[in-house]
């Protein structure tokens, strides 16, 4: 069997549609469309409600999909979750970063399963509070990292777990875009009050997940971090000029570049950098260096957590140095569809969250550590409170 025929996660599963899961959408903006498109492909789902802070937005959103009779007259997530008549099984939380923790905690307190968009939260303390609510509720909380569903990503983990790399001691990860500050429908991605964190939370979390998931999410110990915002705060930033919004520069309150040197449990060094904008094509490929072999994972132009081309394993065979190319595996099913399906299956089967908070907590701890270290100007110890 060739690698192109790799079937994991691409098998056709029979879905029992006799009982429909009742789903609500919190936050009806850009990413909610991807959730909706995937939910509508599932035979065992009924979309029953939508809520948005902007009056009329949730109703318009449902109309776009021809969903008549879906309740949307809620002023926020709270009113929707208080509506007992909905009998919600789960919600997708598609709000901007600063509104991840509050609705997630409220939904879990109401006994509703949660698919929470990435990044987990803005701060580590928020993530801890969400996990405390999760623990109390016994419900499923999955974090929206769809690149996890990619067979190429799974291959990285398989290579690590096979022992082909030996003891891993150094990792470089990250990526970036030459001009890619996201302002598709306004400024919710770049304002401090809505986004809280910039490139770090938008795409940095993917880079961290790519390698941390592969090596089993060791605990982060210390971080020396840096962040800057030279492009986002410049009214002459070429993209602002192109779209006719130089005033976005004054609204920019997050990072557009971050870098860090992180020590992980197990004596592993993690060298990280991420950019929404830079005068460079890429800040480098992801590399995982081990005592027996090393893996190079090519970067992508528009960094979104995927593998940018064939990976290369550098190793020795019979004492000779050689390298093996790992072809890119073509996915038959969309990553977003798999993200939604695995979440639904976990609810129905009483299984574990496909992307568990217990792992992403460490991802968030690193992001939080970078922000804190950058502010104080020196290395900080990562302290994770008891959940």
Ligand X SMILES: NC(=O)c1ccc[n+]([C@@H]2O[C@H](COP(=O)([O-])OP(=O)(O)OC[C@H]3O[C@@H](n4cnc5c(N)ncnc54)[C@H](O)[C@@H]3O)[C@@H](O)[C@H]2O)c1
Residues 6+ apart with CB under 8 A from 112: 24, 81, 88, 89, 90, 91, 139
**Minimum distance, C-beta of residue 159 to ligand X, in the bound complex (Å):** 25
- Residue closest to ligand X when measured from CB atoms: 29
- In sequence order, what are the beta bridge partners of 325? 312
Tell me 81's DSSP state: H
How far is it, in rounded angstroms, from Cα 301 to Cα 288?
20
Q: Which is nearer to ligand X, 200 or 365 (CB)?
A: 200
Q: Closest separation between CB of residue 27 and ligand X, Å?
A: 3
Q: Which C-beta is closer to ligand X: that of 96 or that of 276?
A: 96
Nearer to ligand X, 28 or 270 (CB): 28
Query: Which residue number, 222 or 304, has a Cβ lying nearer to ligand X?
Result: 304
Q: Least Å distance between CB 386 and ligand X?
A: 26
Q: What is the DSSP letter of 198?
A: S
- Residue 71 CB neighbours (<10 A): 17
Backbone angles phi, psi at 372, to 5 degrees: -70, -45
CA 262/CA 365 separation, integer angstroms: 11
In angstroms, what is the minimal distance from the CB of 365 to ligand X?
18
The residue (of 69 and 185) whose beta carbon lies closer to ligand X is 185
Nearer to ligand X, 105 or 380 (CB): 105
The Cα 117–Cα 286 span in angstroms is 24
Nearer to ligand X by C-beta: 53 or 287? 53
Residue 8 backbone phi and psi in degrees, to 5: -55, 135
Contact indicator for 361, 128 with CB cutoff of 8 Å: yes
Cα-Cα-Cα-Cα torsion 79, 80, 84, 87, nearest 10 degrees, comes to: -170
- Within 13 A of 74's CA, how many CA atoms are on the CB side? 23
What one-character DSSP code corresponds to residue 200?
I
Nearest to 104 by CA among 337, 364, 335: 364
As measured in angstroms, the least distance from the Cβ of 106 to ligand X is: 9
Nearer to ligand X, 340 or 365 (CB): 340
CB of 331 to ligand X, least distance (A): 15
Residues lying near ligand X in the complex (CB under 6 A) = 26-32, 51-54, 57, 76-77, 94-97, 99, 103, 117-118, 144, 146, 185, 188, 202
Closest separation in Å from C-beta 202 to ligand X:
6
User: How far is 214 from 363, CA to CA, in rounded Å?
Assistant: 13
Minimum distance, C-beta of residue 119 to ligand X, in the bound complex (Å): 6
- Of 54 and 280, the one with the shorter C-beta distance to ligand X is 54
Shortest CB 55 distance to ligand X, Å: 10
Give DSSP secondary structure letters for 323-361.
Answer: EEEEPPPPPSS-HHHHHHHHHHHHHHHT---SSBHHHHH
Cis amide prior to 176 (ω within 30 degrees): no
């Amino acid at each position: 069997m060739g690698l192109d025929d790799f079937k994991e996660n691409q098998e056709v599963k029979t879905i029992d549609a006799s009982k429909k899961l009742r789903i609500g959408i919190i936050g009806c903006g850009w990413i909610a469309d991807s959730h909706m498109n995937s939910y509508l492909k599932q035979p065992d789902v009924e979309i029953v409600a939508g809520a948005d802070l902007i009056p009329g937005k949730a109703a318009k959103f449902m109309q776009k999909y021809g969903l008549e009779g879906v309740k949307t007259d809620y002023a926020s997530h709270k009113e929707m979750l208080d509506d007992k008549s909905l009998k919600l099984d789960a919600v997708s939380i598609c709000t901007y970063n600063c509104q991840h923790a509050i609705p997630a905690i409220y939904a879990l307190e109401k006994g509703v399963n949660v698919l929470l968009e990435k990044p987990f939260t803005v701060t580590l303390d928020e993530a801890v509070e969400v996990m405390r609510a999760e623990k109390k509720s016994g419900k499923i909380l999955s974090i929206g990292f769809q690149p996890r569903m990619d067979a190429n990503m799974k291959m990285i983990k398989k290579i690590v777990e096979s022992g082909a790399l030996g003891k891993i001691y150094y990792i470089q990860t990250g990526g970036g875009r030459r001009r890619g500050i996201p302002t598709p429908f306004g400024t919710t991605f770049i304002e401090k009050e809505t986004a809280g964190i910039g490139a770090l939370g938008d795409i940095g979390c993917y880079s961290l997940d790519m390698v941390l998931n592969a090596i089993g999410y060791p605990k982060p110990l210390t971080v020396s971090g840096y962040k800057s915002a030279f492009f986002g705060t410049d009214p002459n930033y070429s993209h602002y000029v192109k779209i006719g919004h130089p005033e976005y520069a004054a609204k920019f309150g997050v990072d557009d570049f971050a870098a860090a040197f992180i020590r992980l449990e197990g004596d592993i060094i993690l060298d990280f950098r991420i950019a929404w904008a830079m005068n460079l094509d890429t800040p480098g490929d992801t590399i995982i260096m081990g005592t027996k072999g090393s893996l190079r994972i090519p970067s992508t132009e528009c960094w979104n957590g995927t593998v940018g081309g064939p990976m290369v394993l550098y190793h020795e065979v019979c004492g000779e140095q050689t390298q093996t190319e790992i072809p890119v595996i073509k996915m038959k099913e969309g990553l977003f569809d798999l993200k939604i399906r695995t979440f639904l299956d976990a609810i129905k089967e009483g299984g574990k969250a496909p992307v568990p908070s217990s792992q992403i907590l460490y991802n968030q701890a690193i992001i939080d550590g970078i922000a804190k270290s950058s502010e104080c100007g020196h290395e900080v110890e990562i302290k994770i409170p008891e959940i």
